[in-house]
DNA sequence: GTATGGATGTTCT
DNA sequence: GAACATCCATACT
């Protein structure tokens, strides 16, 4: 098992996210993540614990869901021990279960665009502030799992997306060759 | 294909 | 006011 935020971000590529909302089940295989480790100026926990980011300080494996740009939610996984603020952003999924339901929630959209991007996947899976703070290893409505089929993906690393304070470190991880990845697919040397 | 700007609400200066 | 871990429609090459 991973022992820190960056390892967890890599580890999560290929794993499943499942949401069962009163019997309406959607799921997807993670194809893209970003790490926001301790001390990272771009991380939401950088300025200390607040009401908004409190879930980042829960023990590894809890959901941190935040509202962004007045319209979208983003799903993160807390990544360190309790009391330490850090997390992994889930940026893109390959849709698996509940594809019709996801299309309905997203409005007309191609399969490829359903969950390609953090705001899109949260909308498709109906993840919102109700899910903030859930234990993704224990909860019965939103959880992380292992795919049925053996995972053969190759994980590559690049710089993160959409940050004004990015420092060009390879903390974005994605499945090489996947059509469901949201942004540039170029490997940076490390 | 790339580029640009607007929508929208919460949080912080 | 301004910034924000975004997305979509529109215009253009």
pLDDT digits (tens, 9 = 90+) for A102-121: 999 998 779 999 999 999 99
CA A187 to C1' B10 (Å) is: 35
Please give the protein residue whose CA is closest to the C1' of the nucleotide C8: A120
Q: Is the CB of A62 under 7 A from strand C?
A: no
List all nucleotides in chain B with at least one atom under 7 A from a protein Cβ.
7-13
What is the rounded average pLDDT of the residues A54-59?
96
The residue among A12, A45, A50, A17 whose CA lies nearest residue A171 is A12
Query: How far: A12 CA to B2 C1' (Å)?
Result: 31
- Distance, Å, A184 CA → B1 C1': 14
Q: What is the pTM assigned to this prediction?
A: 0.94
Q: What stretch of H or E contains A91? A: strand A87-97
Backbone angles phi, psi at A109, to 5 degrees: -160, 150
Taking only the tens place, the pLDDT of each residue in A75-104 is 999 999 999 999 999 999 999 999 999 999
Nearest to A77 by CA among A3, A133, A141: A133
Asked if residue A98 lies in contact with residue A186, where contact means CB atoms within 8 angstroms, the answer is: no
């Amino acid at each position: 098992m991973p022992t820190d935020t960056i390892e967890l971000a890599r580890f999560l590529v290929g794993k499943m996210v499942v949401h069962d909302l009163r019997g309406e089940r959607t799921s997807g295989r993670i194809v893209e993540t970003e790490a926001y480790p301790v001390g990272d100026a771009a991380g939401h926990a950088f300025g200390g614990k607040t009401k908004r980011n409190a879930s980042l300080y829960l023990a590894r494996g809890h959901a941190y869901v935040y509202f962004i740009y007045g319209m979208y939610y983003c799903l993160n996984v807390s990544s360190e021990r309790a009391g330490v603020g850090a997390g992994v952003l889930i940026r893109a999924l390959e849709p698996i279960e509940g594809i019709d339901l996801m299309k309905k929630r997203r409005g007309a959209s191609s399969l490829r665009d359903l969950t390609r991007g953090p705001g899109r996947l949260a909308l498709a899976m109906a993840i919102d502030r109700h899910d903030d703070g859930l234990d993704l290893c224990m909860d019965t409505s939103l959880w992380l799992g292992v795919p049925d089929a053996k995972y053969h993906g190759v994980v590559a690393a690049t710089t993160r997306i959409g940050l004004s304070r990015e420092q060009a470190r390879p903390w974005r991880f994605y499945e090489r060759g996947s059509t469901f990845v949201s942004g540039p697919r170029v490997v940076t040397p490390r």
